[in-house]
Structure 1
Amino acid sequence: MLPIDINSVKGFLDGEEGAALYEQALAVAALGPCLEIGSYCGKSTVYLGSACKKANSVLFAIDHHRGSEEHQLGEEYHDPSLYDAQFGKMDSFREFRHTLARAQLENTVVPIVAPSQLAARYWATPLSMVFIDGGHSMEAALTDYHAWAPHVVRGGWLAIHDVFPNPADGGRPPFEIWKLAQASGLFEAMPLIKTLGLLRRV
């Protein structure tokens, strides 16, 4: 299914969750391109991009590549190999490009190196699937949801990562936008796949 050993790609996406992203993206790719928010080093990109490549579609991959809150210097998930000492900032874009090259996805994935809200400002392309896995603050999660969920076409998927119904297991913002999507009446939730929430646009 995948062109490279997925365990060789830095990231936090579980294999079962990744397989579900691949299967659902492949199922709806005929409805339009897919889009992800929060690419990091490209683990989810390989799953989604491989499905889009098989379907002769496109994946837009949005990430400012400066890391989320937890990736910053001194934080729990900081990776020194991704730190740009010259600018004093985290930078995952070089590693991301290496992943695309290794996975032979450079002609399928369109990297958009920008904050989510900036990329969304003039967005007008209908999307078959949107995968939200960007910043996990409430502000970032709400911004991603409000900016991108409306672009999912009927029959398409909104996918949200790190949904923890039990507050003891993880942060609340992804769970809150997962609930918000259901309350909107526009999306029907499927059973969670570990921490992956899948919602079909009705």
Structure 2
Amino acid sequence: MRTPLPIILPVDMHQVKGFLADDEAAALYQAALVASKKAPIMEIGSYCGKSTIYLGSACKASGGVLYALDHHRGSEEHQLGEEYHDPDLFDGSAGLVDTFKEFRRNMREAQLEENVIPIVASSGLASRGWSTPLSMVFIDGGHSMEAAMTDYQSWAGHIIQGGTLAIHDLFPNPSEGGQAPITIYRLAIASGLFEEIDVINTLGLLRRL
């Protein structure tokens, strides 16, 4: 059984909104600590910044940089009337979910404003003309098949040889969760460009060949 490594952070992570298990967080941190020494890291789907804090703290420790990409309008399940809707993150004046204010506050409290570069845009839009090689891509954005495929097709090709592709919310059993993340995970392996490193809880780690 895996025991998460202790990670000392300047914020109480139990108070940060998000959906990341402790063992997944520890695995992300360790992967980012190694990868960020080679090139920047890209996170797709920041929400309020829980995973961003782990990835960003690893970048801070190694002197690296994290791009945190999110349109900050919430995924399908965060919308009004849906299962994971949070009224505290709903902008009534605009009639839209808005997680960016919460995200910025969390980055400030985690002392990561000099290591995390927010990109407020859709994944497809941000990828247009992107040319910076990436040492690691963490996909945890929208869980519809269209959104997951866009994330994979837009960003996996920018990962350097030996770099890491991490995908969250892998559920082999459809009764346990949506199938889009595990579909792109299997596509990455089937492409012959990636090999499996490990699966921790619902987090899959792949290496670019």
Q: TM-score range by the shorter chain?
A: over 0.9
- Please say if 1:164 is aligned against 2:181: no
Query: Per the alignment, in what secondary structure is the counterpart of residue 17 of structure 2?
Result: coil
Q: Are the equivalent residues in 2 in contact too, given 1:31–1:153 (CA < 8 A)?
A: no
- Please say if 1:137 is aligned against 2:144: yes
Query: Per the alignment, in what secondary structure is the counterpart of residue 149 of structure 1?
Result: helix
CA deviations on 1:144-164 (whole Å, 9 max, x unpaired) are 000000011011100000011
- Please say if 1:150 is aligned against 2:161: no
Name the residue aligned to 2:109: 102
Equivalent of 1:3 in 6, 10, 17: 10
- Please say if 1:175 is aligned against 2:194: no
Name the residue aligned to 2:61: 54
Amino acid corresponding to residue 169 of structure 2 in structure 1: D
**2: distance between equivalents of 1:32 and 1:190?**
19
1:192 shift after superposition: 1.1
- Please say if 1:29 is aligned against 2:36: yes
Tell me the TM-score normalised to structure 1 length. 0.99
**1: distance between equivalents of 2:196 and 2:176?**
20
1:172 shift after superposition: 0.2
Equivalent of 1:119 in 126, 135, 153: 126
Percent of aligned pairs with the same residue? 64
Query: Per the alignment, in what secondary structure is the counterpart of residue 65 of structure 1?
Result: coil
Query: Per the alignment, in what secondary structure is the counterpart of residue 180 of structure 1?
Result: helix
5+ residue gaps, structure 2, are 1-6
Query: Per the alignment, in what secondary structure is the counterpart of residue 30 of structure 2?
Result: helix
Name the residue aligned to 1:185: 192
CA deviations on 1:81-139 (whole Å, 9 max, x unpaired) are 00001110000000000000000000000000000000000110000100000000000
- Please say if 1:19 is aligned against 2:26: yes
Q: Are the equivalent residues in 1 in contact too, given 2:198–2:206 (CA < 8 A)?
A: no
Tell me the TM-score normalised to structure 2 length. 0.95
Amino acid corresponding to residue 161 of structure 1 in structure 2: H
Bigger mean CA deviation after superposition, 176-185 or 4-13? 4-13
Query: Per the alignment, in what secondary structure is the counterpart of residue 106 of structure 1?
Result: coil
Give the aligned CA root-mean-square deviation in angstroms: 0.6
Q: How many residue pairs end up in the alignment?
A: 202
1:166 shift after superposition: 1.3
1:3 shift after superposition: 2.3
Query: Per the alignment, in what secondary structure is the counterpart of residue 171 of structure 1?
Result: coil
Amino acid corresponding to residue 120 of structure 2 in structure 1: V
